[in-house]
Amino acid sequence: MTATSATAVRVRARTGGPKEDGPNLLEHLAGWTLVVVLAMLVTQAGLL
């Protein structure tokens, strides 16, 4: 590996995307709650 490529790897800029630690339990729970509520609304409205 050359000095230039080693420097480029170390100086990789963060772009504000998701972090490497992944979503926590609260985010999973909120997501599944949203899925269930949406499914209930769709079936109650007769769209399915």
What's phi and psi for 19, nearest 5 deg? -80, 165
User: Identity (one letter) of the amino acid at 43?
Assistant: T
Instruction: Please answer whether residues 8 and 2 qualify as being in contact, where contact means their C-beta atoms are separated by less than 8 angstroms.
Output: no
**Pick the residue with more confidence: 12 or 26?**
26
Instruction: Give start and end residues of each alpha helix (H) in 1-48.
Output: 3-10, 25-44
pTM for the model stands at 0.51
Confidence of residue 17 (pLDDT cuts 50, 70, 90): low
Model pLDDT, residue 2: 66
What number of residues does the chain have? 48
The two tokens of residue 40 are 């209930």
Instruction: Indicate if the pLDDT at residue 15 is higher than 90.
Output: no
